[in-house]
Structure 1
């Protein structure tokens, strides 16, 4: 079942169950997919769908952080709930151990040892993690910590 079909099915279920938050979040996902289709005149492939969902996740994380800084916990909780719904459509997140392993392999392949070579290591690690759900900032921080 494609993501679009799954979104449509989940939207109907949320309507029937009167789950307002879930319904609005699923509608936002559907709108993002439809906007991509209209802008590019083609359906999004699986990798593009994942990238669009990751963009939505990043937006929710940023909004949540801003609401917390502004002292608006009720809005931060809403963003966190939307975040959980969006993440349910992404593959399981890569564990910290797996991230460490992939990074070690990338560093060994590239032979990088200095921070000047960070881009090379990041590119190698990201290619190994293609199609998986991982936090790019966490990967970047880990690379910075490993390189001298």
Structure 2
């Protein structure tokens, strides 16, 4: 079963169970997927769906941060619930040690020697770690590894 089919089935079960918040978030996700399919005239695969989910998760995290600064705990709670629902569709996250190992392997494979090679290393890692690790954290680790 593809990820899109799983999301559609989850929407149906949320409708049956009358879970309004979950249903709203899943509909939002399906709308984002459909929007990308219509805009680009493609059928989005699982990797594309994961990229969409990552984008939505990043938006939720940014919103939570802004709402906390503004003292809007009601909106923080709502965004946090949506964030939890969206994260359920993401693949299991890699541990810091696994990410570090992948970085060292790519650096060795590419023969990267300094900060000027950071773009090549990040490009190679993005294909491997998409959806499995926070790319902001990966970028920081790559920068630290190449600065040695």
Q: Same fold (TM over 0.5)?
A: yes
After superposition, the Cα gap between the structure-2 partners of 1:65 and 1:10, relative to the gap in structure 1 and judged at 3 Å, is same
Is the 2:4–2:49 contact (alpha carbons within 8 Å) kept by the matching residues of 1? no
- Structure-2-length-normalised TM-score: 0.89
Q: CA deviation at 1:91?
A: 0.9
The corresponding residue for 1:99 is 99
Tell me the distance in 2 between the aligned counterparts of 1:95 and 1:134.
8
Q: In the comparison of the two structures, how many residue pairs are matched?
A: 147
Tell me the distance in 2 between the aligned counterparts of 1:34 and 1:27.
10
After superposition, the Cα gap between the structure-2 partners of 1:42 and 1:116, relative to the gap in structure 1 and judged at 3 Å, is closer
After superposition, the Cα gap between the structure-2 partners of 1:30 and 1:127, relative to the gap in structure 1 and judged at 3 Å, is closer
The corresponding residue for 2:137 is 138
Q: Secondary structure at the match of 2:18?
A: coil
The corresponding residue for 1:89 is 89
**Long gaps (5+) in structure 1:** none
The corresponding residue for 2:52 is 52
Q: Secondary structure at the match of 2:133?
A: coil
Tell me the distance in 1 between the aligned counterparts of 2:129 and 2:112.
18
Q: Secondary structure at the match of 1:147?
A: helix
RMSD value over aligned CA atoms?
1.6
Q: CA deviation at 1:127?
A: 3.1
The corresponding residue for 1:61 is 61
The corresponding residue for 2:4 is 4
- Structure-1-length-normalised TM-score: 0.89
The corresponding residue for 1:31 is 31
Tell me the distance in 2 between the aligned counterparts of 1:76 and 1:8.
26
